C-alpha cells in the first residue's frame, strides 16, 4: 500500500481554490467540531498555539478520513521537527518565516526521503506508514508531501520569485502578522 493521496496538493496542482480554517485550540475535540464544517483544509497551528507533537498527532487522527485535509504549521523549519510531524502522519506543512530560496530548498530536502532529501527513514515506527503496513510508503511518500512556505517579511517578498521557482514548494502563503 502506498502513501495516501494528498487531496490538498492535488487540488492546488489543478489550480482549484481551497478554503480552510485555523485550528488553534490544541484539542482534538474542537478540531473534530471544525471538521463538520467541511472546509477543504484545517490548519493545526503549532506556531502561535499551545500545540505539541502529541496534540498535533491527535488532531491528525481526528481529521483522517474526513473531508478536511490537515495542514500543520510548525513554529520553525527545523529538520528534526519536520521529521517528527511527518512521521506522526502530516502530509501538508506550512513553514513560517521563510525569506530565501535557499531556505525553501532546505525545507524541501527536510520533507523528502533520500535521495531527494534528508528525511530519516524510521518509517517502520511511524504512524505515517501505518507502522510499516504501507509497504511502499517510503517510495511513494515524497510525491504526496505538500510544502507551503509562509512569506512574512520584506526580504521574503523581494525573494518571492526565487522562492516560487524552488521545485517542491507547492504553495506560498503571504502572511505578515498571519
Residues tagged active-site: 48
| Longest alpha-carbon distance in the chain | 45
Extract the runs of DSSP E, i.e. beta strands, from 12-108.
20-23, 41-45, 69-73, 92-95
Angle at 118 between CA 115 and CA 123, to 5 degrees: 90
Residues 135 and 76: their CA atoms lie apart, in Å, by: 31
The three cell numbers locating residue 12: 492546488
Amino acid at each position: 500500500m502506498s502513501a495516501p493521496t494528498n487531496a490538498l496538493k492535488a487540488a492546488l496542482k489543478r489550480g482549484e481554490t481551497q478554503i480552510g480554517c485555523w485550528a488553534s485550540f490544541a484539542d482534538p475535540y474542537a478540531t473534530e467540531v471544525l471538521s463538520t464544517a467541511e472546509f477543504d483544509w484545517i490548519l493545526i497551528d503549532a506556531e502561535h498555539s499551545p500545540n505539541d507533537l502529541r496534540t498535533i498527532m491527535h488532531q491528525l487522527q481526528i481529521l483522517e478520513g474526513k473531508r478536511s485535509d490537515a495542514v500543520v504549521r510548525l513554529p520553525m523549519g527545523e529538520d528534526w521537527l519536520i521529521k517528527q510531524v511527518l512521521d506522526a502522519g502530516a502530509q501538508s506543512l506550512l513553514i513560517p518565516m521563510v525569506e530565501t530560496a535557499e531556505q525553501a530548498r532546505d525545507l524541501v530536502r527536510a520533507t523528502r526521503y533520500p535521495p531527494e532529501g534528508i528525511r530519516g527513514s524510521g518509517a517502520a515506527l511511524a504512524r505515517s506508514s501505518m507502522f510499516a503496513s504501507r509497504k511502499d510508503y517510503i517510495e511513494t511518500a515524497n510525491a504526496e508531501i505538500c510544502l507551503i512556505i509562509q512569506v512574512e517579511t520584506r526580504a521574503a517578498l523581494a525573494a518571492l520569485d526565487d522562492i516560487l521557482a524552488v521545485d517542491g514548494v507547492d504553495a506560498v502563503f503571504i502572511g505578515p502578522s498571519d
